[in-house]
C-alpha cells in the first residue's frame, strides 16, 4: 500500500511526466492528476505536497485568470505546501497578489538567474546559475507576503516563496537536465518543505503488484499477447507469478521483425519457465496482406486487423482446449494511460497502436499490472525478478515493426535488405558499447535510388537511413551524437555488405518537428 504520495497537477506542459518521474527518482511516489483532485473529498490523504506543472497557455489570457485564481485560492487555503513550475509559478503568483506582465521579452532556453536569498530551496544553485526557461509572461512584483528567491534579466521573479513557507514558485524548469542541479530544488521541496519521509522504489512494489493481480483475477484465467518487449514480458512474468498455470501467453510472429527476434522471444520465454506459451508464425498472412500497400496508416490498419484475426483464432483454439478466459493481460505503462491536460485533463487513454481492440465475443476484463510505472521503473522490476538482461534492455519496437520502416510497399526482398542493414547497425552499436544508452536505434529503407560505384561497376541502389535518438518517453527525442568513427564504420559495412543498398545517411531531425519513426 502506498502511504505517502505527491500529486503533479497537470496543466498540459510538455514536461509534466518528467516532473513525476523526477519525484519518483527522489523516492517520493508521484501521480499526475487534474486540478479537480484538490476539490475531491478524501483525495488528499497522505499527500504532503502538490506540484503544479507548466502549460502551453498564458495566465494573462483574460478568460483564464479568473477561474484559475479561484482555484488557486482554494489550493493555497489547503495549508499543504505547493510548488508551481513555470505556468504553475505564475498561477500561484497571481493568486497570492503578485503582478504578472504579459509579453515583453520571452525567455527560452538557457537563462542566467541570480539568487537573492539564502533560502534552502535554491541551496544547490550557484549565486549566478544557468537554468532552462520557456515562457513569455513574467512575474514582476511581489506583495509583502512573498519573498523573491531569485531574479532574472531586468528583475523578473525567477523564484519566490510565501512568507508562511507554504507556497513556492520557480519560473524555470528544475526537472529538465538542462538545469544543472535542478533535482536539488525538487528534493528541497519534497524533503525539507513537505517533509516526505518514506523512500519509494518500483522494485519494492513487486509483492504488492502480485497480490493485486491475485485479488483482481481470483480463480479466473488470463490470456495475453506478448511482443517480447520489456513491458509485456515483465507484465507476463508477474501475472504468471500470481496465478501460475491459469495464465496463457501468445506471441504472434508477423514476419516483419528483426533478425532472429521470433526465435529469441520463444527461447527466452522457455528459459523463464513459461509452460502455457505459444508462438504463432503468421508471417505469410501479414506479408501477403500488405502487398502493394504504400500508405503507412493503411499498413498500420492492415497489421492491426491481421493481428486481431490471428490472435482471435489462437484464442478460440485455447478456449476450446482449456475453457473460457476471463481476463486479458496487457503491458500498459503509466505514460500510455495518462493523457495530458492539453487534450483532456486526466482522462485515461490507451494509445491505439499499443493495445489492440479485441472482438466483442471475448468480453475480457483487463489486467494491467504495470499501469502505474514508467519504463525505467519497469526495467528495475524486471531486473529484480530475474528477466534476462537482453529482454530488459531491448529498445522499444513498434507494433507494425519493419512495415513502417520501409518506404513504399513491403516485400520479402525489402524485408531481407532492411533486416541485414539493421543487424549490422545493432551489432556495431553493441560492439562499441553504445546500444543500451540509446532510446532507439534503427535503419529505415528508402526506395530512393542513387548512383554509386563498387569496384569498377556503377551501381544504382536504394538508400538506408540510420536513425538514433535519445529520449525518456518517446514524446520528445533528440538526435543521438554517436562516436563519429563508430557511425562511419557501421555505415561503411551497410553500404558494402548489404546487396540493394549503396548509400547510407544519418537522420539529424529531433522530435519535434520530426517523429521517431519515418512512416
In this chain, which of 169, 228, 398, 482 binds ligand XMP, going by CB under 6 A? 398
Q: Which stretch binds ligand XMP (CB under 6 A): 145-153, 243-251, 307-315, 392-400?
A: 392-400
Q: Which of 518, 243, 278, 282 is nearest to 406 (CA)?
A: 518
Closer CB to ligand XMP, 388 or 396, in the complex: 396
In angstroms, the Cα distances linking 137 to 63, 70, 92, 173, 190 are: 15, 20, 13, 15, 27
Question: Is residue 396 close enough to count as binding ligand XMP by CB under 6 A?
Answer: yes
17 tagged catalytic: no
Question: Is residue 400 close enough to count as binding ligand XMP by CB under 6 A?
Answer: yes
Whether the CB-CB separation of 390 and 467 falls below 8 Å is answered with no
Can you tell me the distance from the alpha carbon of 196 to that of 49, in angstroms, rounded to the nearest whole number?
Answer: 9
Greatest CA span in the chain, whole angstroms? 81
DSSP state of 427: H
Among residues 23, 86, 443, 464, the one annotated as catalytic is 86
- Angle (nearest 5°) at CA 77 between 71 and 81: 100
Among residues 17, 173, 339, 377, the one annotated as catalytic is 173
Question: Is residue 489 close enough to count as binding ligand XMP by CB under 6 A?
Answer: no
Q: Report residue 224 as a C-alpha cell.
A: 495475453
In this chain, which of 24, 129, 300, 467 binds ligand XMP, going by CB under 6 A? 300
Question: Is residue 515 close enough to count as binding ligand XMP by CB under 6 A?
Answer: yes
In angstroms, the Cα distances linking 508 to 4, 423, 437, 518 are: 43, 21, 18, 12
- Over the window 463 to 482, marking each residue x when it contacts ligand XMP by CB under 6 A and - when it does not, the resulting string is -----------x--------
Q: How do strand 167-170 and strand 277-281 relate by DSSP bridges?
A: unpaired
CB of 478 to ligand XMP, least distance (A): 12
CB of 208 to ligand XMP, least distance (A): 28
DSSP strands (E only) in 414-483: 440-454, 457-470, 478-479
- Listed as own residue / partner, the contacts of 385-389 with beta carbons closer than 8 Å and 24 or more positions apart are 385/206, 385/234, 385/237, 385/238, 385/241, 387/230, 387/233, 387/234, 387/237, 387/272, 388/268, 388/271, 388/272
Question: Is residue 354 close enough to count as binding ligand XMP by CB under 6 A?
Answer: yes
In this chain, which of 399, 407, 428, 482 binds ligand XMP, going by CB under 6 A? 399
CB of 514 to ligand XMP, least distance (A): 8
Closer CB to ligand XMP, 228 or 400, in the complex: 400
Query: Helices 62-77 and 87-95, interaxial angle, to 10°?
Result: 70
23 tagged catalytic: no
86 tagged catalytic: yes
CB of 307 to ligand XMP, least distance (A): 11
Question: Is residue 84 close enough to count as binding ligand XMP by CB under 6 A?
Answer: no
Q: Which stretch binds ligand XMP (CB under 6 A): 17-25, 237-245, 271-279, 393-401?
A: 393-401
- Over the window 428 to 467, marking each residue x when it contacts ligand XMP by CB under 6 A and - when it does not, the resulting string is ------------x---------------------------
Closer CB to ligand XMP, 5 or 300, in the complex: 300
Can you tell me the distance from the alpha carbon of 57 to that of 13, in angstroms, rounded to the nearest whole number?
Answer: 9
* The CA-based dihedral angle spanning residues 380, 384, 387, 391, taken in that order and rounded to the nearest 10 degrees: 20
Contacting ligand XMP within 316-345 (CB under 6 A): none
SS3 content of the chain, % helix, strand, coil (to 5): 40, 25, 40
CB of 35 to ligand XMP, least distance (A): 28
Among residues 25, 31, 107, 175, the one annotated as catalytic is 175
Question: Is residue 258 close enough to count as binding ligand XMP by CB under 6 A?
Answer: no
Contacting ligand XMP within 96-115 (CB under 6 A): none
> CA 368, 372, 378, 380 torsion: positive or negative?
negative
Question: Is residue 153 close enough to count as binding ligand XMP by CB under 6 A?
Answer: no
Question: Is residue 256 close enough to count as binding ligand XMP by CB under 6 A?
Answer: no
Tell me the Cα Rg of the chain: 26
CB of 511 to ligand XMP, least distance (A): 5
# of chain residues touching ligand XMP (CB under 6 A): 13
Q: Which residue has the cell 482449456?
A: 322
Q: Which stretch binds ligand XMP (CB under 6 A): 308-316, 398-406, 460-468, 494-502?
A: 398-406
CB contact set of 238 (below 8 Å; sequence gap of 6+): 206, 209, 210, 213, 369, 370, 381, 385
Q: Which stretch binds ligand XMP (CB under 6 A): 36-44, 328-336, 494-502, 508-516?
A: 508-516
Which residues in this chain contact ligand XMP in the complex, by CB under 6 A? 300, 353-354, 396, 398-400, 440, 474, 511, 515-517
Residues tagged active-site: 86, 173, 175
Amino acid at each position: 500500500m502506498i502511504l505517502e504520495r505527491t500529486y503533479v497537477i497537470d496543466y498540459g506542459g510538455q514536461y509534466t511526466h518528467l516532473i513525476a518521474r523526477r519525484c519518483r527518482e527522489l523516492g517520493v511516489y508521484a501521480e499526475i492528476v487534474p486540478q479537480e483532485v484538490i476539490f475531491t473529498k478524501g483525495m488528499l490523504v497522505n499527500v504532503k505536497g502538490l506540484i503544479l506543472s507548466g502549460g502551453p497557455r498564458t495566465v494573462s489570457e483574460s478568460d483564464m485568470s479568473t477561474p484559475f485564481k479561484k482555484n488557486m485560492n482554494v489550493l493555497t487555503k489547503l495549508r499543504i505546501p505547493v510548488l508551481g513550475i513555470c505556468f504553475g509559478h505564475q498561477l500561484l503568483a497571481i493568486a497570492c497578489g503578485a503582478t504578472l506582465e504579459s509579453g515583453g521579452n520571452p525567455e527560452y532556453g538557457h537563462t542566467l538567474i541570480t539568487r537573492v536569498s539564502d533560502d534552502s530551496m535554491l541551496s544547490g544553485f550557484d549565486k549566478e546559475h544557468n537554468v532552462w526557461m520557456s515562457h513569455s509572461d513574467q512575474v514582476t512584483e511581489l506583495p509583502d507576503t512573498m519573498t523573491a528567491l531569485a531574479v532574472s534579466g531586468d528583475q523578473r521573479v525567477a523564484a519566490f516563496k510565501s512568507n508562511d513557507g507554504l507556497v513556492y514558485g520557480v519560473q524555470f524548469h528544475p526537472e529538465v537536465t538542462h538545469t544543472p542541479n535542478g533535482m536539488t530544488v525538487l528534493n528541497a521541496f519534497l524533503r525539507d518543505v513537505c517533509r516526505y519521509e518514506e523512500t519509494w522504489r518500483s522494485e519494492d512494489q513487486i509483492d504488492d503488484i502480485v497480490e493485486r493481480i491475485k485479488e483482481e483475477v481470483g480463480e479466473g484465467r488470463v490470456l495475453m499477447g506478448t511482443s517480447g518487449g520489456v513491458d509485456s514480458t515483465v507484465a507476463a512474468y508477474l501475472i504468471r507469478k500470481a496465478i501460475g498455470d491459469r495464465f496463457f501467453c501468445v506471441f504472434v510472429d508477423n514476419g516483419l521483425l528483426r533478425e532472429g527476434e521470433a526465435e529469441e522471444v520463444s527461447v527466452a520465454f522457455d528459459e523463464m519457465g513459461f509452460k502455457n506459451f505459444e508462438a504463432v508464425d503468421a508471417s505469410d498472412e501479414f506479408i501477403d496482406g500488405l502487398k502493394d500497400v504504400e500508405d503507412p496508416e493503411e499498413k498500420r490498419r492492415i497489421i492491426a486487423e491481421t493481428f486481431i484475426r490471428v490472435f482471435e483464432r489462437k484464442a478460440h483454439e485455447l478456449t476450446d482446449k482449456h475453457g473460457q478466459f476471463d481476463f486479458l493481460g496487457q503491458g500498459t505503462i503509466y505514460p500510455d494511460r495518462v493523457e495530458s491536460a492539453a487534450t483532456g485533463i486526466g482522462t485515461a487513454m490507451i494509445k491505439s497502436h499499443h493495445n489492440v481492440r479485441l472482438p466483442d465475443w471475448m468480453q475480457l476484463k483487463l489486467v494491467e499490472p504495470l499501469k502505474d510505472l514508467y519504463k525505467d521503473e519497469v526495467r528495475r522490476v524486471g531486473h529484480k525478478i530475474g528477466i534476462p538482461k537482453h529482454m530488459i534492455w531491448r529498445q522499444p519496437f513498434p507494433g507494425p515493426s519493419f512495415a513502417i520502416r520501409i518506404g513504399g510497399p513491403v516485400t520479402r526482398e525489402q524485408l531481407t535488405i532492411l533486416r541485414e542493414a539493421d543487424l549490422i547497425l545493432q551489432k556495431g552499436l553493441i560492439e562499441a558499447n553504445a546500444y543500451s544508452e540509446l532510446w532507439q536505434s534503427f535503419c529505415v529503407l528508402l526506395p530512393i535510388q542513387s548512383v554509386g560505384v563498387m569496384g569498377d561497376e556503377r551501381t544504382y541502389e536504394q538508400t538506408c537511413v540510420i536513425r538514433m535518438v535519445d529520449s525518456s518517453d518517446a514524446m520528445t527525442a533528440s538526435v543521438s551524437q554517436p562516436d563519429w568513427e563508430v557511425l562511419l564504420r557501421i555505415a561503411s559495412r551497410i553500404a558494402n555488405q548489404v546487396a540493394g543498398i549503396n548509400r547510407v545517411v544519418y537522420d539529424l531531425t529531433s522530435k519535434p518537428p520530426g517523429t521517431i519513426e519515418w512512416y
